[in-house]
Amino acid sequence: ASQKRSNSTPETPRPKRTLSSRSPYALFSPTSFSPSVTPSQKYSSRSSRGEVVASFGSVQAPSWKGQGGDSGCILKLFGSPEGNLTKSYKFMFQKALDVWEVLSWRIEELGDVLKSHHHLEDFTSVLLPAQEPVTVLGQISCDSNGKLNPKSVVLEGDREHSSGGQIPLDLSELKEYSLFPGQIVALEGTNSTGRMMVVSKLYEV
């Protein structure tokens, strides 16, 4: 008669296989990359308050001298009287219309620099369809709140020629470019449909 094998747990189980010191995998184990650090203390109980822990360059022992009180102190306003603050204003408070005026003025000023430096012709509107290559002026923007990428680049046209209109840009025909939001540029390309401009040349300051 055949004897059946009994399924039972051995009294002395075999230990699990561990990585030996000679194994190359032990060099890249999590324990080898985990440095031994002391636990951080509370911020209130720190002992290195006011201590310089890192410095760059050499310091030639600067000395400061002054006299107490307000004697000998004379205040002078520099610049035109129109540009000086004569009354209290809210901190970092600017009207949207004033900001738009400054941005428009900056685009016009840099547009004149681009036109004279690269010998460009007159700029056209970014909203008008054009089968032939045209040159437009504006600043780089993003079509969303995320980071700028080749698919989200938008050109905000200037006030004089484009009335601040926007148009998406197709940069696939450019060999190389480097753009950032707010950059003032002049572009040459075609806008056959009036909805997207295919850029062939990029002019920077």
Residue 62 placed within a domain:
no
DSSP state at residue 15:
P
Which neighbouring-strand residues pair with 155?
140, 167
Nearest to 119 by CA among 132, 135, 103: 135
Q: Spell out the alpha helix ranges (H) of the chain.
A: 30-33, 96-118, 159-162
pTM score, whole prediction: 0.54
d(C-alpha 44, C-alpha 47), whole Å: 9
Residue 45 placed within a domain:
no
Nearest to 169 by CA among 144, 134, 195, 192: 195
Residue 159 placed within a domain:
yes
Q: What percent of the chain has pLDDT over 90?
A: 38
The pLDDT confidence band at residue 21, using thresholds 50, 70 and 90, is low
The pLDDT confidence band at residue 153, using thresholds 50, 70 and 90, is very high
Residue 126 placed within a domain:
yes
**166, 193 in Cβ contact below 8 A?**
no
Number of domains in the chain: 1
Residue 141 placed within a domain:
yes
Residue 167 placed within a domain:
yes
Q: What percent of the chain has pLDDT over 70?
A: 73
- Indicate the average pLDDT of the chain: 79
The pLDDT confidence band at residue 100, using thresholds 50, 70 and 90, is confident
On the question of pLDDT at 6 being above 60, the answer is: no
CATH number of the structural domain spanning residue 99: 2.40.50.140
Query: How high is the pLDDT of residue 31?
Result: 59
Cα R_g (the chain), whole angstroms: 34
Domain that holds residue 196: 95-204
On the question of pLDDT at 103 being above 80, the answer is: yes
Residue 7 placed within a domain:
no
Residue 163 placed within a domain:
yes
Which neighbouring-strand residues pair with 137?
186
